[in-house]
Chains A and B, each alone.
Chain A
């Protein structure tokens, strides 16, 4: 529970809404930390359907704390050393990031370092790592989350191109992420690489409801999204990912429904959202 002053309510809720919010807070104590953003979003809802949908999504929302990250790292290290049994001599482990800009995959590789029992060569830049792959080499690409698999697909294509140019024919590419959308496996299977997603997550609406109900709920969400300044490619999350998760102290993913992180209303006013996205 947070130890700071909580603002009083801007609106007086109906008894029905009030009871729902009280129950939600009791059952999802993480909401305390984000009380202002949750109240702001709730207050933007025009009708019962929108409020019910937000309530439903908050119940489904996954918050991963530092203990969860620690467990992901332990499992990631175990997959590399025990499951895949990768030898130190010809294995490179790299973050998915391809330049010096800060990226969440940098924190994965940095934290993974302390969990590996063998001294693998680690890289924070996949471009540099790819140039160091040798004949019979293995590159393991690591990231925190895979949504649509767009980034990993581009990186795999880059590595393959480079290997072709360098005339290296025997090598393999592997990929591990803490978290991934269930649908990401379709794109990952196409890549024809070994991969492992430690925790697979469902789409926040589509994977929980029948198609016609899903469509109706997505329309409800799109109406709510119209209250905000949201680029169409982020509607329902990047490429309609419908993700519902936050790793604490990490930047929230743009695959998450944008109403959870957007900071501008449609009339360009600042909006204090539940999560901040840099």
Chain B
């Protein structure tokens, strides 16, 4: 499983809003309905988001997961196509942050 363009867009938007209307994401970013459904299906299955009546929100687990992986997912310090490796460890506010390794499991890739 890969992390797609639309995943990054959604997570960035979700950080800023409690409840995100999927139609607004379509209008703002031209994401196709197929990209949107793929995002919802993938991350709902992983229990990281909830989808209800046209809107999505992060679950508590999703919020923790996103926080643990914020450098990787939100700060674009990666190439999307790169495999997940131990090299993806960055400095943040002088505090060394290690990735939550569950990302490997959640995304179906090996450490």
A-side residues, CB < 8 A to B, are 1-3, 5-10, 12-13, 15, 18-19, 21-22, 25-26, 31-32, 35, 39
B33 near A22 with CB under 8 A, answer yes
B32 near A22 with CB under 8 A, answer no
* Complex Cα gap A12–B32 (Å): 9
B27 near A39 with CB under 8 A, answer no
Query: How many contacts between A and B, using CB within 8 angstroms?
Result: 54
Number of B residues, CB within 8 Å of A: 22
The main secondary structure of chain B at its interface with chain A is: helix
B-side residues, CB < 8 A to A, are 1-2, 4-6, 22-23, 26-27, 29-38, 41-42, 54
A39 near B2 with CB under 8 A, answer no
Q: A13-B26, A18-B23 are in contact. Are A6 and B54 (CB under 8 A)?
A: no
Q: A12-B27, A18-B26 are in contact. Are A5 and B34 (CB under 8 A)?
A: no
- Residues of chain A within 8 A (CB-CB) of B33 are 9, 13, 18, 21-22, 25
Q: Give the nearest-CB partner of B38 in chain A.
A: A1
B4 near A19 with CB under 8 A, answer no
A32 near B34 with CB under 8 A, answer yes
Query: Known contacts A8-B35, A39-B32; can you find 13 more A-B pairs with CB under 8 A?
Result: A1-B41, A6-B32, A6-B35, A13-B33, A18-B23, A18-B26, A21-B33, A22-B22, A25-B34, A25-B37, A31-B34, A32-B37, A32-B38
A6 near B30 with CB under 8 A, answer no
5 A-B pairs with least C-beta separation: A35-B34, A9-B32, A21-B33, A8-B30, A25-B37
Q: Give the nearest-CB partner of B35 in chain A.
A: A6
B2 near A3 with CB under 8 A, answer yes
* Complex Cα gap A25–B54 (Å): 14
* Complex Cα gap A21–B26 (Å): 12
B26 near A7 with CB under 8 A, answer no
Most buried by A among B26, B33, B37, B38: B33
A6 near B23 with CB under 8 A, answer no
Q: A3-B2, A18-B26, A22-B22 are in contact. Are A9 and B31 (CB under 8 A)?
A: yes
* Complex Cα gap A25–B34 (Å): 7
Most buried by B among A9, A19, A32: A9
